C-alpha cells in the first residue's frame, strides 16, 4: 500500500495496513532544527546544515533521507512566504544559531543581536523597520514582539486588523500550481497551508510580517476584545472569511486535488485545565466563519480540513465537528478531560486524530526509552483502530529532547506497524 492509499483510507475512517506517519508536514507537526541534526547524526547521514522551514519556531526540514528512514507518509506543499513575510525558499545562506548550530535560512533572514545578546528579526527582512520578533539568547525559537500602537476606542477600525489579508496574487497562484504538482508527484499525501484562514490565531495577531501593524495587535488586548468588542471581532472574521473563500476558489483552479488536506486554523481554545471561552462564545464568534470556509471546501473540493487547538478541548469536539472540520490536532492527551479512550469512542467516527502519539511535555523529553515505548504502543492501540489516526507527537518535537528518546518513539511506532 502506498503512502497516498494509506492516507486516503485513514482520513476516511477505514483501516489501513499501517498507521500513517507525519513528521514535518505542518508548522505544528514538525521537529526543531537541533533535533533534526541529532537525528541525522544518529542515522549516520552526511554532516550538512539543516534547512530551516519555519524561522519563527526554527523547525528543521525533514528531508528525503529522513523521510525514507522514518517512513513518513505525509509531506507539505509549503507556502511562498513565512511568518515574517519574506520568501522562504532558495537561494539559502548559512546562519549560526545562538546555540552554535549552523543552519540554512532564506536570504532575507536578517537578524541583529541587541545589548542583551538576544536575536532580533525583522518584517520582510527589512532591518530599517522595527523588529517583529525576539529570540532570547538562551532560547531556541522566536517570540513575537508586541508593537501595539495607542488607540482610541471610538476610532478602532476592523480594516486595520485585515491589512495582511487580501486577494491572492498571480505570482502566488503560479507558485502554488507548480508546488502542488511537485508535491503530488512524490506519491505521498500532501498537506498545504494556503494562508488567510487563521481566525484569531495569536501567532498571527501581532502582525510579525507587517512593518507598522495597526489595530488590535497586543495578545492580551485581543483576548479582551473577545469579551469587550465582539462586534469588532465578528466584522474582522466576516471579511477575512469572505476573502478566504474567494482565494480558495482561485487556488483550487490551479491546485485542484493535488493536495489532500489544508491547514485552516491554529487558534487555540484550551489551556491545560479548561477552555479559553464558553461554548456560546465559540458559536457566536467562530462557528459561522469556520462553517463558511469548511462548507465551501467540502462542496467544491476533495480536500480535508485541519484544525489545530492545544489544550483541554474535549467539550469543544462537537463544536469542531459542527464547524465542519475533518481533522483535529495535536490531541493533547495530557490535558484535563482528554482521555484517549473517550476521545476515540466518542468522536472517532467524525474526527481524524492527527497527533496524540506521545506526550511532548513530560514523556518524550524526560521518560525512559521503555516508558516511551509503552506510551506509544498504548496510544497507537487506542487511536489506530478503524483508521482515523495519523501518528505525530503532541505538537512539535523541541530542541533539547534526547535523541535516544526520539529513536525509542520511532522504534515503538515501527514495532506497532509491524504487527
93 occurs within a structural domain:
yes
Q: Is residue 260 classed as helix, strand or coil in its secondary structure?
A: coil
Query: How far is C-alpha 162 from the geometric centre of its chain's CA atoms?
Result: 21
The predicted-structure confidence for 206-232, as pLDDT tens digits, reads as follows 999 999 999 999 999 999 999 999 999
Q: What is the pTM of this model?
A: 0.97
Contact criterion met (CB below 8 Å) for 180 and 80:
no
357 occurs within a structural domain:
yes
205 occurs within a structural domain:
yes
> Torsion over CA of 172, 173, 179 and 180, rounded to 10 degrees?
140
List residues bridging with 111 in a β-sheet: 121
Q: How far apart are CA 78 and CA 126, in angstroms?
A: 23
Over residues 349-366, mean pLDDT: 98
List residues bridging with 291 in a β-sheet: none
Query: What was the pLDDT predicted at 307?
Result: 98
> Taking phi first (over 0 means left), then psi (-120 to 50 degrees means alpha), and beta for anything else, what does residue 337 get?
left
Q: Do β-strands 92-96 and 102-106 pair in parallel, antiparallel, or remain unpaired?
A: antiparallel
46 occurs within a structural domain:
yes
127 occurs within a structural domain:
no
Over residues 378-384, mean pLDDT: 98
Query: What was the pLDDT predicted at 128?
Result: 97
Q: How many CA atoms lie within 13 Å of 216's alpha carbon, on the beta-carbon side?
A: 22
Contact criterion met (CB below 8 Å) for 149 and 217:
yes
Domain residues for the domain of 356 are 3-108+147-417
233 occurs within a structural domain:
yes
Contact criterion met (CB below 8 Å) for 2 and 187:
yes
Angle at 303 between CA 302 and CA 308, to 5 degrees: 155
Over residues 176-184, mean pLDDT: 98
Over residues 8-18, mean pLDDT: 98
Contact criterion met (CB below 8 Å) for 74 and 190:
yes
Q: Which residues contact residue 81 at a Cβ distance below 8 angstroms, ignoring those fewer than 6 apart?
A: 87, 88, 209
Q: Which residues contact residue 208 at a Cβ distance below 8 angstroms, ignoring those fewer than 6 apart?
A: 56, 83, 84, 85, 123, 132, 133, 144
- For residue 183, the domain's CATH number is 3.20.20.210
The predicted-structure confidence for 70-124, as pLDDT tens digits, reads as follows 999 999 999 999 999 999 999 999 999 999 999 999 999 999 999 999 999 999 9
Q: Is residue 364 classed as helix, strand or coil in its secondary structure?
A: helix
Q: How many CA atoms lie within 13 Å of 126's alpha carbon, on the beta-carbon side?
A: 11
The proportion of the chain whose per-residue pLDDT surpasses 90, expressed as a percent, equals 100
Over residues 318-330, mean pLDDT: 98
126 occurs within a structural domain:
no
Nearest to 108 by CA among 134, 136, 80, 140: 80
Q: Is residue 247 classed as helix, strand or coil in its secondary structure?
A: helix
Query: What was the pLDDT predicted at 419?
Result: 66
137 occurs within a structural domain:
no
Q: Do β-strands 102-106 and 189-192 pair in parallel, antiparallel, or remain unpaired?
A: unpaired
Would you list the DSSP string of 4-35?
HHHHHHHHTT---SS-EE-SSSSTTS-EEHHH
Q: How far apart are CA 53 and CA 30, in angstroms?
A: 9
Into how many domains does the chain fold? Answer: 1
Mean pLDDT of the chain: 97
The predicted-structure confidence for 238-290, as pLDDT tens digits, reads as follows 999 999 999 999 999 999 999 999 999 999 999 999 999 999 999 999 999 99
Nearest to 26 by CA among 313, 404, 380, 390: 390
Query: What was the pLDDT predicted at 360?
Result: 97
Compute how many other C-beta atoms are within 10 angstroms of the C-beta atom of residue 205.
Answer: 24
Over residues 368-379, mean pLDDT: 98
Amino acid at each position: 500500500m502506498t503512502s497516498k492509499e494509506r492516507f486516503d483510507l485513514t482520513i476516511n475512517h477505514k483501516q489501513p495496513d499501517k498507521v500513517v506517519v507525519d513528521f514535518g508536514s505542518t508548522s505544528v507537526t514538525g521537529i526543531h532544527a537541533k533535533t533534526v541534526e541529532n537525528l541525522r547524526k544518529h542515522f549516520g547521514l552526511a554532516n550538512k546544515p539543516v534547512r530551516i522551514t519555519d524561522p519563527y519556531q526554527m523547525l528543521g526540514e525533514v528531508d528525503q533521507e529522513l523521510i525514507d528512514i522514518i517512513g513518513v507518509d505525509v509531506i507539505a506543499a509549503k507556502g511562498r512566504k513565512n511568518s515574517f513575510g519574506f520568501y522562504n525558499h532558495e537561494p539559502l545562506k548559512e546562519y549560526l544559531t545562538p546555540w552554535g548550530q549552523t543552519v540554512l535560512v532564506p536570504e532575507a533572514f536578517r537578524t541583529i543581536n541587541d545589548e542583551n545578546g538576544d536575536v532580533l528579526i525583522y518584517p520582510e527582512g527589512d532591518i530599517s523597520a522595527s523588529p517583529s520578533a525576539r529570540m532570547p539568547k538562551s532560547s531556541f525559537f522566536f517570540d513575537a514582539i508586541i508593537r501595539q500602537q495607542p488607540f482610541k476606542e471610538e476610532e478602532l477600525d476592523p480594516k486595520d486588523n485585515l491589512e495582511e489579508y487580501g486577494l491572492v496574487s498571480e505570482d502566488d497562484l503560479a507558485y502554488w500550481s507548480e508546488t502542488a504538482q511537485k508535491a503530488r508527484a512524490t506519491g505521498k499525501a500532501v498537506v498545504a497551508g494556503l494562508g488567510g484562514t487563521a481566525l484569531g490565531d495569536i501567532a498571527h495577531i501581532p502582525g510579525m510580517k507587517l512593518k507598522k501593524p495597526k489595530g488590535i495587535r497586543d495578545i492580551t488586548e485581543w483576548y479582551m476584545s473577545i469579551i469587550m468588542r465582539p462586534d469588532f471581532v465578528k466584522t474582522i472574521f466576516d471579511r477575512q472569511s469572505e476573502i478566504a473563500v474567494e482565494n480558495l476558489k482561485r487556488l483550487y483552479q490551479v491546485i485542484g486535488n493535488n493536495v489532500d488536506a489544508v491547514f485552516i486554523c491554529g487558534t487555540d481554545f484550551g489551556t491545560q485545565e479548561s477552555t479559553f471561552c464558553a461554548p456560546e462564545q465559540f458559536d457566536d464568534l467562530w462557528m459561522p466563519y469556520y462553517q463558511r470556509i469548511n462548507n465551501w471546501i467540502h462542496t467544491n473540493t476533495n480536500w480535508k480540513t485541519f484544525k489545530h487547538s492545544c489544550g483541554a478541548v474535549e467539550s469543544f469536539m462537537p463544536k469542531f465537528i459542527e464547524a465542519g472540520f475533518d481533522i483535529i490536532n495535536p490531541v493533547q492527551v495530557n490535558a484535563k478531560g482528554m482521555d484517549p479512550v473517550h476521545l476515540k469512542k466518542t468522536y472517532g467516527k467524525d474526527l481524524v486524530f492527527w497527533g496524540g502519539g506521545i506526550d511532548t511535555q513530560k514523556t518524550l523529553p524526560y521518560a525512559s526509552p521503555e516508558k516511551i515505548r509503552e506510551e506509544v504502543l498504548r496510544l497507537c492501540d487506542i487511536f489506530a483502530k478503524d483508521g482515523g489516526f495519523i501518528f505525530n507527537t503532541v505538537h512539535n518535537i523541541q530542541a533539547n529532547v534526547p535523541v535516544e528518546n526520539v529513536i525509542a518513539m520511532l522504534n515503538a511506532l515501527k514495532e506497532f506497524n509491524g504487527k
